[in-house]
Structure 1
Amino acid sequence: MSRLLTLLLTFTVCQTFGQTRTTQSVLWTHAQVKANWGSDWTLQQDFEEALYWFPARQHIFQERTLVTKGIGSGFRIGAGFVYFTQTLPNDPHVEGLATFRELRPILHVSHKWHVNEHWAIHQRLWPEFRFIEGFDTYEYATTRVRYRIMAQLAISDWGRLDLYDEIHVNTFRKSEVLTNRLDQNRIGFNLWYTAFKHHKFAAGYFNWYQERIPAGSFFNRHIVRLSYSYQI
């Protein structure tokens, strides 16, 4: 954990002193369905799409299936699968010329600590095993570790404010395409509103800072995020 926090600090410094930055605006939409069974199990399905603004063009689309189990003391473990596509090149001023696809089996470990009746600290670790589409098959490229720390503030009975920071680190790299170690950092917030008993909506913002090729250059993306969650 301390190693991940050190990498997070390193990436924050890189954000401040990066050599070359390409700034982009993105709209991110997210739909989620959750189903609980028994006292400990949860099935979660997520659909996410990111669109460039000014001019408008699709950036990414992904769908994720995740099964988790509570094991006590605020901990949950689980596993899932992600199908991911990205329209290339990463320039909204250029019409999409190709589609980059990945398959990602993932593992899940999380912990939630209730500080008091209003505040909670949530930590999540996601190792992602990334398989990139080749000419006739998908090939293993890297294992990316995602660590997120989030402060959650309960606001009366109608909603919640989430403040978070997440770092992505590539490990065990085998791909000549994915050569960066400190992949990206996301820092932002979401404001959740419970409209009905099983329906929640959220609006938020996050800054997505990602290393790119060549070394020393970065994407600096300003992202508005709109979410909907349904609890079965």
Structure 2
Amino acid sequence: MQRLSIIIPTLNEAACLAATLERVQALDPPAWEVLVVDGGSQDHTTAIAAGAGVRVLQSPATGRAVQMNEGARQASGALLCFLHADTLIPTDLVAVAERALVDPSVACSGFVSLMRSGQRTCWGVSGLNLLKTYLAPLLFRPLQFLRGLRLLFGDQVMITRRHTFWSGGGFDEALPLLEDGDLCFRLLKQGRIRLIRRVVVSSDRRVRAWGAGKAMATYLGIGILWGLGLPPRHLRRFYDDVR
């Protein structure tokens, strides 16, 4: 079995990190290593990570792309798994990840993400996010869609090979958001992007903060504007930071 490194970028994630790490520690088989890359948290995020016995790194700068690249540089596994601090993964993730990448024509894989709080699932927003995986590339990049482009985003837990990740250039550290979707475009040169038909569960904190209507409008609007070519730096103002 190939060694899998899990990389978790954090910034003030004390409210949700413990549950995420508890699920990570329950993996069977276990991950090779877990790296929490912190961007300067002012709460107890790093203490929670250290208490869980995972490796804690301080990022040279704040920003998800910067932090995930730093984790990838420090990781020693052949497979890299990028996990958001508010996302719960299945206990067989390591085996699922290896099976997903056994085909050399697949460059990157990710899961179906459900947004949930307790027993309540936000089906509308979850469905929209799933639809974007297929519909956005089909509408805006149809030729690339036919070549195997699917758009994965961070809450879908992206998994790729270390050499594939760096051959694609890693995450673009100049992007304030959508660094994950951007990476999918560049990884397409290495192979297909695949959606795994398994579920991960992400916090619905933005839906609770914004309301379902605003959340769906925001996600849809950002996706359309990005697809039409508006740079992510101009889209950042529509995406409030919610912890």
TM-score, normalised with respect to structure 2: 0.25
Larger radius of gyration: 1
TM-score, normalised with respect to structure 1: 0.26
Greater percentage in helix: 2
Greater percentage in strand: 1
